[in-house]
Amino acid sequence: MQPPVAPSGGTAMWLPLGADPTTLSTPIQIVVLLTVLTFLPAILMSMTSFTRLIIVFNLLRQGLGTQSMPPNPILVGLSLFLTAFIMTPALETIHRDAIVPVLDQEIDAAEGLERAMAPLREFMKVHTREKDLMIFLRASGASQPATFDDVPTRVLVPAFMISELETAFRIGFVLFLPFLVVDMVVATVLLSMGTFQMPPVVVSLPVKILLFVLVDGWSLVVGSLLTSFGV
């Protein structure tokens, strides 16, 4: 027999015998889970390697001059899988120290969230420039932290994103240089031949693609990106 529990309003609610009133019901757990899932895209773009990867790949495509080839879904998919590859150590730590204890009810959700943030903060610490961090520390009015653990996450995340944007554009500039040289050489040759009616891009595009393939460009770019993250 399940005893009724009558709240102040007088309506009896039935609770199973031995049920813990502090435990969230399954529907509430589902709502909390769906709420957390809505923040996953923001976490993916702002706390991982995804930002640098997708920007470099887009700049590479613009340097090649292939317009929409490879298409955006291909670049996003490649960036996602490379992000998962780069973030594997952090994800394994989050699963071992945060997700599993929460599911086993060894720790509460708040402590699980704190443990899950630790590997992400360590990753952002390595790739955040001190100058960018100081900008947001001064803007937030926070006092000078004694250690990195004292840096608020609300300060660390935007500083990390600015650092990633800076790094991505530097890599993109280096990628643009050889393609720019090819464009200038082709334009000069066509001009010297008096071929004014043929746009230089018609000739430079296949030349750039051929050179990119011959030097195994995709492997070089992806390998350089992995190295930039210490992989």
For every residue of 27-40, DSSP letters joined together read: HHHHHHHHHHHHTH
pLDDT one digit per residue (tens) for the chain, 231 residues: 444 444 444 444 444 444 444 444 566 656 666 666 676 777 777 888 898 999 999 998 888 888 778 888 899 999 999 999 998 888 888 888 887 887 777 777 777 778 888 888 888 888 888 888 888 888 877 777 777 777 888 888 888 999 999 999 999 888 888 888 888 887 787 777 776 666 767 777 888 888 888 888 888 888 989 988 887
Predicted TM-score (pTM) of the model is 0.75
d(CA 224, CA 50): 15
pLDDT at 16: 46
Nearest to residue 65, comparing CAs of 165, 168, 169, 186?
Answer: 186
Nearest to residue 49, comparing CAs of 99, 85, 98, 93?
Answer: 85
* DSSP secondary structure letter of residue 193: H
Beta bridge partners of 13: 5
pLDDT at 56: 92
| Omega cis (within 30) before 206 | no
pLDDT at 53: 92
Residue pair 172/59 in contact (Cβ under 8 Å)? The answer is: yes
Backbone angles phi, psi at 199, to 5 degrees: -65, 140
Residue pair 105/73 in contact (Cβ under 8 Å)? The answer is: no
pLDDT at 148: 77
Structure-token match 């490379």, residue found: 82
d(CA 205, CA 150): 51
Nearest to residue 118, comparing CAs of 95, 144, 134?
Answer: 95
132-167: buried (b, 16+ CB within 10 Å) or exposed (e) per residue?
A: bbeebbeeeeeeeeeeeeebeeebbbbbbbbbbeeb
d(CA 161, CA 134): 14
Task: Enumerate the domain spans of the chain.
Answer: 71-126
Angle at 163 between CA 176 and CA 119, to 5 degrees: 125
